[in-house]
Amino acid sequence: MTAIPNLNIVPFVSVDHMMRLVLKIGVERFLLELGAYIEEDYRRWEGFDKTPRVGAHSADGVIELMPTSDGTLYGFKYVNGHPKNVRAGRQTVTAFGVLADLGTGYPMLLSEMTILTALRTAATSAMAAKYLAPPGAASMALIGNGAQSEFQALAFRALLGVRRLRLFDVEPEATAKCRANLEPLGFELVDCATPEEAVEGAAIITTATADKQNATVLTDNMVGPGIHINAIGGDCPGKTELHRDILLRSDIFVEYPPQTRIEGEIQQLPKDYPVTELWQVITGRAAGRSSARQITLFDSVGFAIEDFSALRYVRDQLPASGLYQELDMLADPDDPRDLFGMIGRCAQGLGPVLTM
């Protein structure tokens, strides 16, 4: 990893910096390279500390902390999910993250992660589809055309070559937004009036809806043999998108079972229902897609290791890009034991600010 020179200064990547970094690298190249970082960390999955994210749930949404460490670096993300926010012109999901040196405890990066989470979610989806989707898949149904939809489209094109998209959202303005963003980028787009129409002829189905409820976005009769389902909308207790019967017909792949059983589609199934961890497929310890008629389901809820990978990737881009701000976040007294003396020396330069 390339070092940031001054260890007492923390690089901060703002929203503006992140947007400029994505544009400097190129969105699809960013997704390709980020996907490679995530896959690299999946290959060393067993070396990470793993725990389900810690959530504070309310009727309106959830705030979560997502920590992990590989024994050398520590990373965490703060993220919320509040579907009602969009009605007030606010984001449903916002996030920031920290990468730190485990040996010293010193933070090495503070970054926005609202945009970065959208990118890492899409990169993870497409990375999983490399192992699970039918070979040569060129058409995808995008059910839910909100903030994640364009990132998913670009990731699947960058990693799998998917160019034909069938769009559906319960809010037509969301589909119009998605079309306006993707049409200039060379996709073949079909606006669909129903989810049933959207899945016609699609080899991959991505569900990415926002409402915090047990919904049935896909019914059993909508899913034929050979389909790969990329289910990314079910990400908290009480929120699902797929009919239970679809799960019973599918081979299910997950990130971290203790978290997915609480938050994913498989919360509808018994706690001991068999699933396969994605890292096992990537490392060759378990089979992914094994037949043409197999229905594969990636029940993705997002996991801290993916955020860790994203923070690693961003940090590695900073020295060459210069797209960060230096934050004076770490106290640096002449004597590490004399923190109060540091305040006193500051007072000498500012005048009589210390009082009894």
- Return the active site residues: 235
- Which residues make Cβ contacts (< 8 Å) with residue 157, sequence separation at least 6? 28, 163, 187
Question: DSSP H helical segments within 5-60, as ranges?
Answer: 15-25, 27-43
* DSSP state for residue 90 in the 8-state scheme: -
Q: How far apart are CA 172 and CA 290, in angstroms?
A: 37
Residue type, 261: R
- Which residues make Cβ contacts (< 8 Å) with residue 281, sequence separation at least 6? 131, 132, 253, 287, 288
Q: Is 161 left (phi over 0), alpha (psi -120 to 50) or beta?
A: left
CA distances in angstroms from 327 to 36, 268, 335, listed in the order given = 29, 45, 21
Buried b (16+ CB within 10 A) or exposed e, 256-294: bbebbbbbbbbbbbeeeeebbbbbebbeeeeebbeeeeb
Q: How far apart are CA 130 and CA 158, in angstroms?
A: 11
The first and second tokens of residue 342, run together, are 């540091």
Find the angle CA(277)-CA(283)-CA(286) to the nearest 5 degrees: 50
Buried b (16+ CB within 10 A) or exposed e, 37-51: bbbebbeebeebebe
* DSSP state for residue 222 in the 8-state scheme: G
Find the angle CA(174)-CA(177)-CA(181) to the nearest 5 degrees: 140
* DSSP state for residue 88 in the 8-state scheme: G
* DSSP state for residue 117 in the 8-state scheme: H
Q: How far apart are CA 152 and CA 243, in angstroms?
A: 22
Rounded to 5 degrees, φ, ψ at 270 are: -60, 150
